[in-house]
Amino acid sequence: MTLGIIGAMVEEITPLLECFENHIKYDVGGNTYYEVTFGNHRIFIAYSKIGKVHAALSASVMILKFGCEQIIFSGVAGALSADLKVGDLVLGTKLCQYDVDISAFGHALGFIPESKLYMESSPILNKIAKDTAKAQGIMLKEGIIASGDCFIANSEKKQWIMEHFDAIAVEMEGAAVAVVCDSCKIPFCILRSISDSADGSADVSFDEFLESSAKRSADFVVNMCKQILQ
Q: Which of 27, 101, 196, 208 is catalytic?
A: 196
Beta strands in the chain (DSSP E): 2-7, 24-28, 31-38, 41-47, 70-79, 89-97, 119-120, 140-147, 167-171, 188-196
- CA 20/CA 11 separation, integer angstroms: 15
Q: Which of 144, 142, 143, 135 is nearest to 116 (CA)?
A: 144
C-alpha distances out from residue 116 to 38, 81, 162, 176, Å = 35, 24, 18, 12
> Dihedral of CA 76/72/220/146: which sign?
positive
Query: Beta strand 70-79 with 119-120: parallel, antiparallel or unpaired?
Result: unpaired
Catalytic residue among 11, 12, 171, 173: 12
Cβ neighbours of residue 18 closer than 8 Å, sequence gap 6 or more: none
Q: Is 12 a catalytic residue?
A: yes
> How far apart, in Å, are the Cα atoms of 207 and each of 28, 166, 195, 229, 230?
29, 26, 8, 33, 36
Closest CA to 1 of 61, 37, 42: 42
Please say if 196 is a catalytic residue.
yes
Q: How far apart are the first and last CA of the chain?
A: 10
C-alpha span between 87 and 84 (Å, rounded): 9
Query: So which residues are the catalytic ones?
Result: 12, 196
